[in-house]
């Protein structure tokens, strides 16, 4: 990939680093974020260490106002508990915080995403006889339903950015057509979904933005071409007329990410 | 349906009771002044009376003396409740004077059982417009309250009562300790404090003690209300008297008994309000006026529990 | 009243004492009881101090496995909290413990009760223009709906034991007839009420038992006549053919009740 | 509808894990072995494998390694779940081997989201046959699970999903401390322990420490599960490894990473079970077998919070 050759300092800039840095820039100080393990966690903690020191982090396991002292290795890592402002039950996390409308930004990823931001984390292939059995929804369905906005973080490939999800686990901007109903499905507004749905997909090649209910390429990293992005997308990707180039992260930011946030290179 | 609430993340929310009430409690609003015998903010109620904020819809499972005082002061348009009395003693006399056949003037009343009121808050705090419960069959409660409806279980076909979500304009919650962002810890009886804070548009946390956030973070399982729900934090020691705060001071049972006589007669009721509500400028003056013996009589004897270990 | 002249030891035996002692005998060791303030609290704590040391007391304010060190003066007395096994929210008390089916015995009283055990704690007179406004249900409706059995503790008089309640706050064995439906109303089984309903009314004159859905006099205190009971009942009271006489409490029991349970004579 | 549960009030419920499992977990039963990363009783799971209790319907939001081991051991007929994986690492390989197109043998699967599973427990713990939630619109989850139905709000007309009550035959809950009647206190992550205990017919509490009831009574707000729900109490220090217990020992993250390779190959999986499950007679032997470095590597560093005052 083009990004493998981009250099900042001594070490080459990795796609995961670009994603973490770009996603962190989406977060505003004092926002309430529902943080997932992996890249979303890196993005959120990078934001805290840079421009958003008061970012308010909630983890699915029930930690409120979390201050992890080390990189959490699972959603239930004890470092999320110690020094948090509050610990609540799973019932409160889903019923009170998510359904109750308190989450401003949610993060999601998955095996497949379509142009509407519908995400599949359930099965590849037929549901009853899947080629691959994936973990399932976890809290993804309710994060997609109830967060004020959702940021998707996924690497692009024709297998992951697909024309049609094999299964929709988490709702995007609208339902896709089906064999039974060849027309496009209902929109979030028509389905009365409370949350705003996916606003951006932060990928390893660039940023797709939800414009009029469809993902459109609006930003690419330095050194990435539109053609590359299109080749890694399973549908005919719309491209914004004013395409922005995402500058490489500063040495300082990269230093924080590499040496403070994920020094053992667990997720980068 | 979009029911988002803007999380409140200002670093310092400490204000005086006067300021908090003036900002959050508006004429005509739906007020939930919480407390189930324990942790009732009489300080907040008295300040509302001093500020003469009118046309309130006053809501609580157990409207007690402080709600009765709001009624006597002429500030309550409607009462939403499930048990209205002087707990362990008798009646609320101001309420009786505006709710009976012989009353010259009446207030509106909307009545549930405790479970119904709790269920309304559960809905309101969970982003749902209704809550199901097995209740009210064989009674007249639903007959006189058209807001109680019913629903059929999609699995068993069985009928359940429903109540509508309650989302007060303001909830006022007294707690043992909070930081200045409003992260609040409570022990002893918990009533519906958590549900009220999650359900309300605006929340005032009144605390016996203001502590550093590090104290809150040392024992996060003890936190009942996260600061992101809270608009104002008020430091008001002894703010619950004659109600109580576990670990700080006992309930003034003698006051509740004496209240029966004070409140039965409108003249002595007026004397009380003149002296202890209008006659003081704030809680500090009220406590001074109660006399030096108050603290020695009611101050809690220490009985501290052990902490637990959050290490890993 | 006859009971005023019954003597045990030096002090005359009071109706309230007879009620507390007789009610305590209904409680079995290790039963889970939903305790109310006043006479039910005396009866439960007397049972604990005598034949039911492991009686498991739950108070409406949310105290589980309560061990009051002093006589609680209100349902939220701090003495209920200190040394209890658990404190729970109001949501848990009503939804988890009561609706969840964990309460074996509930206690109720009120301004009016009818022969079916329907209880009125809401209004005397018309609901919209009441002669007397009473406190309302509190938790009484759900105690009557969900407890496995309910014990009623009330003093008898034609004004309190009535042919028809002005308002039914808490359900008894069946609904009464109404102007609109002159037939008797549905039974608890027909209404699918989970709890067993009132089994006994412990009064100041004797005990009424729910037999075939109607209160029947089955026990009277020493020195009380059936005629007295009937005069204090607002309906044509059924009397059991084998009427039992309740013996006066032992000196020892009375001593515990008077000197340990309620030494300041708050409720006796 | 009569849904009473007989409260359990025997004074001493302490038994060995072997006895607790033999008595409470029966072939064909619905098993809820709780834990949300935190407080997962691997000790109970391993004992179930040793006792070869078959045809289980294994239920949890997050079936993880110990559920995968039950599956590999051939004990699971059906899995009810919302997220099945090795948290932070990857897949459950035994599950994959019985759930894909190319699987020789398949188990039944019933699938929700986390919120759906939580809602099922909320219904089961509240005596209701259903629970409403705003979810599943715009997804295929309800399409492949006929147990997810819907209901219309009697106030707004809006449609809500419903899930049916979950009342497991047995819930196994690991806690930090309990008395011998099963009154249990938990801190750190709480998962669905309370709801599972209230919903289940039978409850096994497994505790890091058995404490005197007076310790529980010193801090009653810390109690998550009352003993009246509990059938058996098992004392099992380090009973969660490789999961963890806040204040006692850390999560063995290296084990979870290593598990990926152990579990991918059925042969090495079998070797593991032979050595660490069948090859030991109880948890004590398992811990000994893990080697002396386990405790020094994972034992929690102390970080005790302050207690609070329950005086009055």
pLDDT tens string for chain A (268 positions)?
344 444 445 689 999 999 999 999 999 999 999 999 999 999 999 999 999 999 999 999 999 999 999 999 899 999 999 999 999 999 999 999 999 999 999 999 999 999 999 999 999 999 999 999 999 999 999 999 999 999 999 999 999 999 999 999 999 999 998 877 888 899 999 999 999 999 999 999 999 999 999 999 999 999 999 999 999 999 999 999 999 999 999 999 999 999 999 999 999 9
CA distances from C215 to B77, B138, C23, C197 (A): 42, 17, 16, 12
Determine the average pLDDT of the residues in B78-104. 94
Cβ contacts (< 8 Å) between B101 and chain C: which residues?
A: 125-126, 129-131
Contact partners, residue D175, CB within 8 Å, separation at least 6: D39, D184, D185, D186, D193, D205, D206, D207, D208, D224, D225
- Contact of D299 with chain C, judged by CB distance below 8 Å, is answered with no
Provide the 10 A C-beta neighbour count for residue B288: 11
- Contact of B222 with chain C, judged by CB distance below 8 Å, is answered with no
Q: Which two tokens stand for residue C133?
A: 């406004």
Distance CA B162, CA D128 (A): 12
Strand partners, D172: D33, D204
Phi, psi at D149, each rounded to 5°:
-120, -165
First to last CA, chain D: 42
Determine the average pLDDT of the residues in B277-305. 95
Cβ contacts (< 8 Å) between C65 and chain D: which residues?
A: 183, 226-228
- Strand blocks (E) in chain D: 30-33, 56-60, 76-81, 108-111, 130-133, 149-152, 159-164, 170-178, 184-185, 202-210, 223-225, 232-235
Determine the average pLDDT of the residues in D41-56. 98
pLDDT at C5: 40
Which has the closest alpha carbon to D197: D235, D239, D166, D164? D166
Yes or no, beta carbons of C64 and D226 under 8 Å apart: yes
- Contact of D160 with chain A, judged by CB distance below 8 Å, is answered with no
- For residue D54, is pLDDT > 90? yes
Yes or no, beta carbons of D138 and A118 under 8 Å apart: yes
Is A264 one of the annotated active-site residues of the chain? no
Which of B121, B150, B189 to mutate against chain C (most C CBs within 10 Å)? Answer: B189
- Pick from D3, D226, D312: CB nearest C65: D226
User: What's CA B282's distance to the chain center, in Å?
Assistant: 19
Top pLDDT among C37 and D211 is at D211
- Contact of B100 with chain C, judged by CB distance below 8 Å, is answered with yes
Yes or no, beta carbons of B138 and C91 under 8 Å apart: no
Q: Do chains A and C touch (3 or more CB pairs under 8 A)?
A: no
Per residue in C35-52, is it b (16+ CB within 10 Å) or e — as a string?
A: bbbbbbbbbbbbbbbbeb
Grade residue D3 by pLDDT with cuts at 50, 70 and 90.
low
Q: Which two tokens stand for residue B185?
A: 């810890």
Which has the closest alpha carbon to C59: C39, C74, C43? C74
Distance CA A252, CA A221 (A): 18
Find the helix or strand (DSSP H, E) in which D51 lies: helix D42-51
Helices (H) and strands (E) in chain A, counts: 7, 14
pLDDT at C178: 81
Cβ contacts (< 8 Å) between D2 and chain C: which residues?
A: 101, 194
pLDDT at C6: 44
Determine the angle formed by the axes of helices B17-24 and B42-51, rounding to 10 degrees: 60
3-state secondary structure of D175: strand
Task: Check: pTM over 0.95? Answer yes or no.
Answer: yes
Distance CA B235, CA B230 (A): 14
pLDDT at A7: 46
Cβ contacts (< 8 Å) between D85 and chain A: which residues?
A: 135
B200 CA to chain A: closest CA distance, Å?
A: 11
pLDDT tens profile D239-296 = 999 999 999 999 999 999 999 999 999 999 999 999 999 999 999 999 999 988 999 9
pLDDT at D1: 42
pLDDT tens profile C61-111 = 999 999 999 999 899 999 999 999 999 999 999 999 999 999 999 999 999
The 3-class SS string of chain B reads CCCCCCCCCCCCCECCHHHHHHHHCCCCCEEEECCECECCCHHHHHHHHHHCCCCEEEEECCCCHHHHHHHHCCCEEEEEECCCCECCCECCHHHHHCCCCCCCCCCEEEECCHHHHHHHHHHHHCCCCEEEECCCCCCCCCCCCCCCEEEECCCCCCEEEEEECCCCCEEEEEEEEECCCCCEECCCCCCCHHHHHHHCCEEEEEEEEECCHHHHHHCHHHEEECHHHCCEEEECCCCCCCCEECCCECCCHHHHHHHHHHHHCHHHHHHHHHHHHHCCCCHHHHHHHHCCHHHHHHECCCCECCCCECCC
CA distances from C239 to A259, C1, C205, C215 (A): 87, 20, 13, 9
Q: What percentage of chain D reaches a pLDDT higher than 70?
A: 99
Top pLDDT among A173 and C181 is at A173
User: What's CA D40's distance to the chain center, in Å?
Assistant: 6
Q: Which two tokens stand for residue D99?
A: 């759930």
Catalytic position from the list A17, A60, A104, A219: A60
Q: What percentage of chain B reaches a pLDDT higher than 90?
A: 96
Grade residue C227 by pLDDT with cuts at 50, 70 and 90.
very high
- Pick from A80, A90, A131: CB nearest D192: A90
Find the helix or strand (DSSP H, E) in which A145 lies: helix A140-146
DSSP character string of chain C: -GGGG-BSSSSBPPHHHHHHHHHHTTPPTT-EEEE-TTHHHHHHHHHHHTT-TT-EEEETTTEES---SS--SSTT-HHHHTT-SEE--HHIIIIIIITTT--SEEEE--SEE-TT--EE-SEEE-SSSEEEE----TTHHHHHHHSSEEEEE----TTTB-SS-SS-SB--SBPPP-SS--S---BHHHHT-SS--EEEEE-SSEEEEEETTEEEEEEEETT--HHHHHHT-SS--EEEEEEEEEPPPPHHHHHIIIIIISTT-S--
User: What's CA B302's distance to the chain center, in Å?
Assistant: 26
Which of B32, B93, B109, B113 to mutate against chain C (most C CBs within 10 Å)? Answer: B113
Cβ(D15)–Cβ(D151) under 8 Å?
no
- For residue C3, is pLDDT > 80? no
pLDDT at D276: 97
Determine the average pLDDT of the residues in B144-151. 98
Which of B153, B157, B185 to mutate against chain D (most D CBs within 10 Å)? Answer: B153
Grade residue D147 by pLDDT with cuts at 50, 70 and 90.
very high
- Contact of D255 with chain A, judged by CB distance below 8 Å, is answered with no
Q: Which two tokens stand for residue B128?
A: 């749902």
Yes or no, beta carbons of B9 and A83 under 8 Å apart: no
Which has the closest alpha carbon to C134: A104, B96, D51, A233? B96
pLDDT at B3: 65
Determine the average pLDDT of the residues in B45-62. 98
Cβ(C196)–Cβ(C144) under 8 Å?
no
Q: Which two tokens stand for residue C132?
A: 């007397």
- Contact of C200 with chain B, judged by CB distance below 8 Å, is answered with no
User: What's CA A234's distance to the chain center, in Å?
Assistant: 18
Q: What percentage of chain C reaches a pLDDT higher than 90?
A: 91
pLDDT at B252: 96
Determine the average pLDDT of the residues in D65-73. 98
The residue whose two tokens read 């936190």 is B223
Which has the closest alpha carbon to B181: B225, B218, B134, B227? B227
- Residue of chain B whose Cα is closest to the Cα of A97: B126
CA distances from D260 to B284, D89, D253, D268 (A): 64, 7, 12, 11
Phi, psi at B309, each rounded to 5°:
-100, 120
Determine the average pLDDT of the residues in D40-60. 98
CA distances from D130 to A133, B83, D126, D162 (A): 29, 29, 10, 6
Q: Do chains D and C touch (3 or more CB pairs under 8 A)?
A: yes
- Contact of B213 with chain A, judged by CB distance below 8 Å, is answered with yes
pLDDT at C177: 87
The residue whose two tokens read 């500058």 is A247
- Pick from B4, B183, B217: CB nearest A83: B217
- Contact of C240 with chain B, judged by CB distance below 8 Å, is answered with no
Q: Which two tokens stand for residue D40?
A: 């997962």
Cβ contacts (< 8 Å) between A192 and chain B: which residues?
A: 1
3-state secondary structure of D265: coil
pLDDT at B292: 81
Cβ contacts (< 8 Å) between D309 and chain B: which residues?
A: 246-248, 300, 302-305
Cβ(D178)–Cβ(D184) under 8 Å?
yes
ipTM: 0.96
- Contact of C81 with chain B, judged by CB distance below 8 Å, is answered with yes
Task: Indicate the length of chain D as a whole number.
Answer: 312
């Amino acid at each position: 990939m083009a990004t493998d050759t981009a250099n900042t300092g001594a070490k080459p800039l990795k796609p995961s680093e670009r994603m973490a840095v770009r996603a962190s820039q989406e977060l505003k100080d004092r926002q309430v974020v529902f943080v997932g393990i992996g890249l979303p966690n890196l993005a959120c903690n990078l934001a805290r260490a840079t421009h958003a020191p008061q970012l308010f982090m909630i983890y699915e396991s029930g930690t409120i106002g979390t201050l992890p002292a080390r990189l959490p290795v699972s959603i239930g890592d004890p470092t999320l508990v110690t020094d948090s402002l509050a610990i609540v039950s799973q019932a409160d996390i889903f019923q009170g915080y998510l359904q109750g409308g308190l989450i401003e930004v949610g993060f999601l990823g998955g095996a497949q995403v379509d142009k509407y931001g519908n995400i599949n984390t359930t099965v590849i292939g037929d549901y009853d006889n899947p080629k691959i059995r994936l973990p399932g929804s976890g809290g993804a369905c309710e994060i997609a339903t109830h967060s004020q906005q959702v940021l998707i973080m996924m690497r692009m490939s024709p297998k992951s950015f697909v024309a049609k999800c094999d299964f929709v686990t988490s709702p995007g901007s609208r339902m896709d057509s089906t064999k039974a109903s060849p027309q496009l499905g209902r929109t979030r507004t028509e389905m009365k979904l409370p949350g705003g749905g996916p606003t951006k997909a932060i990928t390893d090649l660039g940023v797709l933005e939800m414009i009029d209910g469809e993902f459109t390429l609006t930003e690419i990293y330095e050194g990435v071409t539109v053609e590359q992005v299109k080749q890694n997308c399973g549908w005919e990707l719309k491209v914004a007329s004013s395409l922005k180039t995402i500058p490489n992260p500063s040495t300082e930011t990269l230093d924080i990410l590499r040496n403070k946030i994920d020094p053992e290179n667990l997720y980068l | 349906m979009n029911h988002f609430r803007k999380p409140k993340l200002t670093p310092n929310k400490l204000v005086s009771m006067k300021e908090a009430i003036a900002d959050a409690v508006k004429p005509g609003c739906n007020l939930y002044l919480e407390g189930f015998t324990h942790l009732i903010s009489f300080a907040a109620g008295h300040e509302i009376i001093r500020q003469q904020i009118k046309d309130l819809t006053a809501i609580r499972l157990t409207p007690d003396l402080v709600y009765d005082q709001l009624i006597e002061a002429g500030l309550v348009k409607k009462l939403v409740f499930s048990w209205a009395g002087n707990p362990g003693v008798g009646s609320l006399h101001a309420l009786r004077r505006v709710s009976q056949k012989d009353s010259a003037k009446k207030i509106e009343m909307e009545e549930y059982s405790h479970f119904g009121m709790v269920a309304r808050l559960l809905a309101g705090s969970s982003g749902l417009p209704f809550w199901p419960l097995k209740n009210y069959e064989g009674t007249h409660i639903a007959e006189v309250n058209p807001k109680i409806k019913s629903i059929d279980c999609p699995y068993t076909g069985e009928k359940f009562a429903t109540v509508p979500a309650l989302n007060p304009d303001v909830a006022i919650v007294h707690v043992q300790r909070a930081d200045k962002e409003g992260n609040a810890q409570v022990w002893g009886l918990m009533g519906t404090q958590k549900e009220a804070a999650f359900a309300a548009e605006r929340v005032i946390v009144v605390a016996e003690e203001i502590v550093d956030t590090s104290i809150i973070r040392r024992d996060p399982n003890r936190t009942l209300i996260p600061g992101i729900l809270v608009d104002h934090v008020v430091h008001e020691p002894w703010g619950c008297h004659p109600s109580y705060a576990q670990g700080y001071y006992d309930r003034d049972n003698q006051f509740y008994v004496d209240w029966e006589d004070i409140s039965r007669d409108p003249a002595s009721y007026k004397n009380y309000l003149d002296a202890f509500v209008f006659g003081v400028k704030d809680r500090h003056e009220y406590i001074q006026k109660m006399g030096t013996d108050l603290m020695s009589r009611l101050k809690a004897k220490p009985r501290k529990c052990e902490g637990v270990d959050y290490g890993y």
